[in-house]
Amino acid sequence: MTLKRVVVTGLGTISPVGSNTEETWENVKNGVSGSDWITHYDASKFKTRFACEVKNYDPVKYFDRKEARKIDRFTQFALIAADEAIKDSGIKLEGIDMERTGVIWASGIGGVETFYQEVKGYIEGDYTPRFSPFFIQKIISDIAAGHISMKYGFMGPNYCTVSACASSTNAIIDAYNIIRLGMAETMLSGGSEAAINEIGMGGFQSMMAITSNNEEYKTASRPFCKTRSGFVMGEGGAALMLEEYEHAKARGAKIYAEVVGAGMSADAHHLTAPHPEGKGAAIVMRNAIKDAGINYDEIDYINVHGTATPRGDISELLAIKEIFGEHAYDINISSTKSIVGHLLGAAGAIESMFSILAMRDGIVPPTINHQEQDPDIDPKLNLTLHKAQKIEIKYALSNTFGFGGHNTSVIFKKYE
C-alpha cells in the first residue's frame, strides 16, 4: 500500500522556561537555564533541593477552581499544551471529521502527586478510608488523552503510551503510523509530566539518577561535561498536531515540518543503565533512517537524549559515531535537557518540538553548562556548546531512551 505523508501543523507547550511555545523557544535558543530552587515542597531534608519547575504556575489561570481540583497537575499541563497546539494549527473543529481525529498522549508516571497526597492523607489521618472520588481518574496515565478528547470531541484513536522517558516519542510514532496507514487524518500527540514532589524526587535521588549539585544548581545539568553527575528533574508538557499532508494542504494549513521516519528498539541489557557500547541506540537510529529512506549523511542535527548521566552520554555518542562514521563530525549535536531539565515521559515531545523549530529558524539550540572536556568523549564532535549555531537543517533526528531499555528515534524533514 501507498503510505500517506504526515506533517506537523501545530505546536504547544508549557515548560520550565516558558508558558507557551515561542517564549520557551526564545529562552532555549538563548540558553536560559530553567533550573532553580524547588518551591513545590520543603526540600531542605533532601540531597537535591533544585529542579526545573514550571515557573509561577497557577492553575486558576487556565481552569476554574472546581475543575482544577479534579485533574492532576500532569493532566493540566497536557490540556494547556494541547489547547495551544490546536489553536496554533488553525484547524476549525467544525470542519474536520471527529471520528478520524484522535489523541495519543504520553506520561511515564502519571498522577504521582495525587497518589502521594491521597496516601499521605490516609496515613496521617485515623486510617479511615476517605479517598477522593476523583483519586483513580486523577492518577492513571491515560486520563490526559481522555480529557483532551472529551474537551474537543475527538472520537478517533485515543490512548496513552508508557515507555518511561521514551513515552512521548512513542506517542508521536504511533500517531505518525496511524495517519500514514490511513486510519486517521488528524492526531494530537505529545506528553506531560509532573513528578517534582517528595516521592518523585526521592525515588530518582535514591537510585542516583539525578544530580545533587546544590552549590551550582543553575548549571548542574551539564551533558557531556566531565563533571556531570546526573540529570535535573523537569516538568511540563508539549503537544504536536499531526495531519495527513493532503488534509493539511486542502485547508491551507501552516506546515512546520514533515515526519519522515521512526525507529524503536530495546537495549535488552539493564533496567536503568544503557548498553555500554550504545547498541540499542545505534539500532534505533538505523531503524529511523531506514524508515525515512534517506542516507546517513543527510542528517544535519541530532537532539540527543543527553541526560548528563556518566554512562548515558558516552553510550549515545558512541552509537552516533558507529552509525554515521565520518559524517558524525559534520552533524550538530545538542542536548536541550541542559536548559529545560529532563521532562521524563514528556521529554520526547518537547525535544521533537525543539528539533522542528530548529529547522524552521535554521538555529541549533545550545548545550549549556559544559565546563570541562571529558577525555572519554571525542573532542571532534560538534556538541553545540554554550551558544546556538546557525545552520541550514533539512533533516533533524530526535532521540529518547527510557528505563527498561526502551529506545525511540524520530526524524523530521524541513517542509518546502
Start-end of H helices in 14-103? 21-29, 65-70, 73-89
Q: How many CB atoms lie within 10 A of CB 93?
A: 11
Residue 416, C-beta contacts closer than 8 angstroms, at least 6 positions apart: none
Q: At what angle do helices 143-152 and 73-89 cross, to 10 degrees?
A: 40
Residue 342 annotated in active site: yes
Query: Nine-digit cell at 213?
Result: 549539585
Helix (H) or strand (E) holding 350: helix 347-361
Q: What distance lies between CA 353 and its chain's CA centroid?
A: 8
CB 53, CB 44: distance < 8 Å:
no
CB 250, CB 96: distance < 8 Å:
no
Cα separation of 385 and 365, whole Å?
A: 9
Catalytic residue among 40, 305, 370, 406: 305
Start-end of H helices in 183-324? 198-206, 245-250, 279-292, 310-324
Residue 269 annotated in active site: no
CB 134, CB 92: distance < 8 Å:
no
CB 147, CB 68: distance < 8 Å:
no
Residue 160 annotated in active site: no
Catalytic residue among 165, 275, 370, 406: 165
Q: At what angle do helices 73-89 and 112-124 cross, to 10 degrees?
A: 160
- Maximum Cα interatomic distance, the chain, rounded to a whole number of Å: 66
Give the alpha-carbon dihedral of 59, 26, 92, 254, to 10 degrees: -170
What are residue 290's phi and psi, to 5 degrees? -65, -45
DSSP code for 148: H
Is the dihedral angle over the CA atoms 96, 70, 146, 353 positive or is it negative?
Answer: positive
Catalytic residue among 147, 275, 342, 370: 342
**Long-range contacts: 370-373, Cβ < 8 Å, 24+?**
370/222, 370/223, 370/224, 370/225, 370/338, 371/219, 371/222, 371/225, 371/226, 371/227, 372/225, 372/226, 372/227, 373/226
Active site positions, annotated: 165, 305, 342
